[in-house]
Structure 1
């Protein structure tokens, strides 16, 4: 009989039971005979052993808990363990503690057994690993597994599976791969379960190419992917925008006779609706109808633009709706994304009529959609419908409405909703305060913004980078750079680390005020804090330098960008060209223009503003050449371009050409200023 089998671990009353007695008596014969307390302990241990040996696990768990909780017989598991036969009862006790989710006791007992030179059975180790994983003690899981390996015991596929699961949950995918290689070395090969775990981990961190390689490895090993395998990859591809690949895996499932389930369809619907592929989403829903997840006619009801619910009363009669909450929420969200909010509301009402229980999530989707459309009144009506159905608005509901009011500058209404939120027993969150700070900040009411920071402090809510970012952004836009810097210092003092976006705000404000010294001070502070400068950072500084005539410094920074792995874009080139145009260096402007075209960076109308301005001194022929090149790129000239061209031709004495351009400007619908009116 194998050491790792269940029957080998059950204690037989006639052998192990007697072993316990002989163990006690060998310690102290006199004590065994005379101490009543000792006899009671012995009886309790015997009872626990008997319960385990007879497979009465539930009763044994209760009895063990009572022994340890009351502490009348034993003050701790260690004391109980010191009075039992070893290794038989120790192993069963470890298994029982693991099953009972007494993790501290189980891990302590495991350590004690190992110190005593005992190696727990495969059954007990697997149970311990499973309980550790279920309780999210992933590091401890890997530590126990490593100790099992060190003991010379060969773990089975179950133990490896739990170790792989722990590694993936810790996002240590390299460890996951290492464990799978060890499985191969041990001659068992990774299981489909193990592959699915690592595939899930890779997809979660969007390493979809590596996930595909791992899937191909599965196929090469002649392993049969299951529904979980395919669902993991379909969801992974949908989340990175690989819709075609996801649809390809769905077709592969059909070819391999692997059944699609709700998880499959939900992932596809979410991906398709999120990317605006409504027609493809319709096809998936049609397939769901054919598979019995939706009643016949449901699809036409959802997508028929002329349907208002009339005549659809019998649509669902006697037909089971097998979709879950996630499915209909994805469907509602998809309809809202394409602007069909009223149809989404109609679909939800029809689902509710036919026994589908609505959720707060479904109503929050509608509230958010109406707010996105700018229809706050309908958003509020939706919250009222929500309450009529016995669903209390939650923080997401309130925060959505509050955020919209703040966005539109209706901060008084926003505060009214905050009070209502509190009255309903929902505490304001950091997101609530962030909206208020942003709303009042945009109106220039900075005293109120600081009051909100104080309120957050009193409520025990720690402001985050968005809280401070909103305030700093508003202060910068209001040209209150000193105040913005004070907020930055407060932010750092409270242990909230600024990000690149916040430094970019401060650099932008400094440049707009021509305070380049301050701009570069913030830039240096940013780098010293270990925050990488972004493309926005460099573009802002280059633009600021160019506007202030410091084009040489701007170009030095331009060259520095590439070395930092930050590739210039059209905004970078526009800023540099503009700087050289102001310095009246037409040749340099044209060189930069040619360079950006060679690099495949498409010029914009903004590129031609400084170019045409710079070409004025070269004469109208050069200007017109640049103008024609702009038209060939299908770029529509704006007021600035027309004004420059008209003025130059008029100045050159070519009034007819100037008048022709003026008429062209009018025909194009470009506003004329007073000078060209």
Structure 2
């Protein structure tokens, strides 16, 4: 009989109507398991077409068999699309057969994971209209999808629908709400949810009394710490202690220690570390890394080493993150001997270094100009089978440029090409900046053309390096041409630095009117001039002896709250004293916050 069902032709399906319901279900199951899904769906269509009083119409069991198959298996190597499954669910619903809450939850989860949350919402509301009996687990699946997208309006609407359906939210429901509120930095709303769930208050019409668990408390403490409210996090930890079966764990302490360390309160973080040891809460490598990282970021490198040594004495081991933080800290202060000592210790301890450790060393050596050491670490990296990425090559290219080893730069570029890596904006900017500093404008332009041809969009830094190169070479007209192209063709907005370069160069080349025009252009474009900008224009106007214009820019400088430096005061004091404008100079000084040394120089001359 099984063989007959498995290989039966489907041309005349009307004979299936003579089978009993159990035989139909068995046939349906065999067809599905043999991969004949279309034939199985034809059987279901036949079942739907049977008389309403027939015992062969599909029921919940039919739906469970079909949807368990479609949601767990593949069809001809391709997963059944969500839309196909949803259409079948609605078809069953139209015939009075409603998908079970379990399979409904699975389908909604799948829809949400594939970023089809709107489709999931429509299915959910449609099934409610059809009278489906749903459970909190199904609602939680949809709530997770909505929360992932930050759709808090629909989340509130869903909670209201749960009230209508008399579905009681559980600890998972509240956990989803609180977790995503904290992720979106809505910590006060999350705290309000905590009060509603634990205080027996009404939440959207539902009388709620759900005890928060450790996960919920930890989520809230982490959320508070991430917005700089560590003290409130400590208060929540005390509340945890007062609740039976909800003692703070390692994660609780890690969240608080991380919060205090990021706020620069290392001593408080260390105090919590000592407390957790005293309370019998075991610290882990995350705890160690948080404190080591915090100490290194605040310049307490020796303390970080001492703490790590003590942690090791207590039986705790570091990982790649621990060693990377320490190695990076020593590289930043050019203590490469200690950095390499830690690297070797890492190897001896059996802790496998990852690419980041090697990149940290390469970066440190490159910044210090120790390119032989950087090259050695690169060779070690390759020996381990780790492929350097574009960031690593950019670091090396920058180092070789700074040490004037341009032949090595070409070697790095060739290696990148052989590895299938393409230069990015930083690569091109580094090359253009180096060529500009060495006065090789022809090469700089060549790199720029290649950059554009490769589809890499030039940035303000790219144009800045090129404009500066032409200005340094006295070719201000070419620099202005690039500036105009930057604004028009490339649509890259110039910044204060670029305006400063051009204004200074124009003034030095006796083109003060053009420099003044650029100052006006800055005003129109909303680019704020700084002290360097004003110093450049003041020098130019002094050479032109244009007192009226200099007074205008002095007033503008006060209006923009741009404080002069000693260069500003030297330019203006010498000039205005010589032309008898002492009172105007005093008024200018009174309207600005001038540094002590500058003020003394000005008052001495006035």
What's the secondary structure of 1:636's corresponding residue? helix
**Contact conserved, 2:507 with 2:515, CA < 8 A, in 1?**
yes
- Counterpart for residue 361 of structure 1: 321
What's the secondary structure of 1:614's corresponding residue? helix
**Contact conserved, 1:329 with 1:361, CA < 8 A, in 2?**
yes
Distance in 1, matches of 2:507 and 2:253, equals 54
* Change in 2 beyond 3 A, CA 1:485/1:277: farther
**Contact conserved, 1:570 with 1:604, CA < 8 A, in 2?**
yes
Q: CA deviation at 1:456?
A: 0.8
Distance in 2, matches of 1:456 and 1:402, equals 16
1:383-394 map, 5 Å: 383-394=343-354
What's the secondary structure of 1:368's corresponding residue? helix
1:268-417 map, 5 Å: 268-285=256-273, 287-289=275-277, 291-293=279-281, 322-417=282-377
Q: What number of residue pairs does the alignment pair up?
A: 553
What is the CA deviation profile of residues 275-297 of structure 1, one whole-angstrom value per residue up to 9, with x for unaligned ones? 4333443444455455443xxxx
1:33-432 map, 5 Å: 67=33, 73-74=34-35, 77-83=37-43, 86=58, 88=60, 89-95=62-68, 97-98=70-71, 104-105=79-80, 107=82, 110-114=85-89, 116-118=91-93, 120-131=99-110, 136-137=113-114, 139-149=115-125, 152=129, 158-159=137-138, 161-167=140-146, 169=148, 172-173=149-150, 176-183=151-158, 186=161, 188=163, 191-203=173-185, 211-212=186-187, 214-215=189-190, 218=193, 235=222, 243=228, 245-251=229-235, 254=238, 261-285=249-273, 287-289=275-277, 291-293=279-281, 322-432=282-392
What is the CA deviation profile of residues 403-429 of structure 1, one whole-angstrom value per residue up to 9, with x for unaligned ones? 222212222222122112111222222
- Counterpart for residue 437 of structure 2: 477
Distance in 1, matches of 2:109 and 2:259, equals 33
1:615-634 map, 5 Å: 615-618=576-579, 633-634=594-595
Distance in 2, matches of 1:180 and 1:429, equals 42
- Counterpart for residue 206 of structure 2: none
Distance in 2, matches of 1:596 and 1:475, equals 35
* Change in 2 beyond 3 A, CA 1:185/1:275: closer
Higher mean C-alpha deviation, range 532-541 or range 488-497? 532-541
What is the CA deviation profile of residues 339-361 of structure 1, one whole-angstrom value per residue up to 9, with x for unaligned ones? 44344233323323433232111
* Change in 2 beyond 3 A, CA 1:624/1:471: same
* Change in 2 beyond 3 A, CA 1:160/1:254: same
Distance in 2, matches of 1:341 and 1:164, equals 45
- Counterpart for residue 52 of structure 2: none
Q: CA deviation at 1:441?
A: 1.2
What's the secondary structure of 1:349's corresponding residue? helix
Distance in 2, matches of 1:45 and 1:507, equals 75
Q: CA deviation at 1:28?
A: 5.7
Within the candidate set 530, 542, 567, 1:606 is matched to 567
* Change in 2 beyond 3 A, CA 1:26/1:233: same
Distance in 1, matches of 2:304 and 2:269, equals 15
Q: CA deviation at 1:161?
A: 4.3
* Change in 2 beyond 3 A, CA 1:100/1:327: farther
Q: CA deviation at 1:645?
A: 11
Within the candidate set 556, 566, 572, 1:595 is matched to 556
Distance in 2, matches of 1:262 and 1:30, equals 62
Distance in 2, matches of 1:562 and 1:188, equals 58
* Change in 2 beyond 3 A, CA 1:436/1:329: same
Q: CA deviation at 1:468?
A: 2.1
Distance in 2, matches of 1:105 and 1:148, equals 19
Q: CA deviation at 1:220?
A: 9.2
Distance in 2, matches of 1:234 and 1:596, equals 47
Higher mean C-alpha deviation, range 100-109 or range 493-502? 100-109
Distance in 2, matches of 1:524 and 1:280, equals 55
Distance in 1, matches of 2:406 and 2:540, equals 35
* Change in 2 beyond 3 A, CA 1:160/1:509: farther
- Counterpart for residue 535 of structure 2: 574
- Counterpart for residue 597 of structure 2: 636
Higher mean C-alpha deviation, range 497-506 or range 86-95? 86-95
Flag structure 1 segments of 5+ consecutive residues without an equivalent: 1-19, 34-38, 49-63, 68-72, 204-210, 294-321, 650-677
TM normalised by structure 1 equals 0.69
Distance in 2, matches of 1:288 and 1:468, equals 50
**Contact conserved, 2:178 with 2:190, CA < 8 A, in 1?**
no
What's the secondary structure of 1:276's corresponding residue? coil
**Contact conserved, 1:94 with 1:109, CA < 8 A, in 2?**
no
What's the secondary structure of 2:353's corresponding residue? coil
What is the CA deviation profile of residues 478-531 of structure 1, one whole-angstrom value per residue up to 9, with x for unaligned ones? 233332232222223223333333233223333333434443444444444444
Within the candidate set 464, 471, 474, 1:504 is matched to 464
**Contact conserved, 2:288 with 2:318, CA < 8 A, in 1?**
no
Distance in 1, matches of 2:221 and 2:533, equals 39
Flag structure 2 segments of 5+ consecutive residues without an equivalent: 1-5, 48-57, 204-209
What is the CA deviation profile of residues 96-142 of structure 1, one whole-angstrom value per residue up to 9, with x for unaligned ones? 65467999237365145147454633321212233455xx42x1344
Q: CA deviation at 1:388?
A: 0.7
Distance in 1, matches of 2:476 and 2:391, equals 34
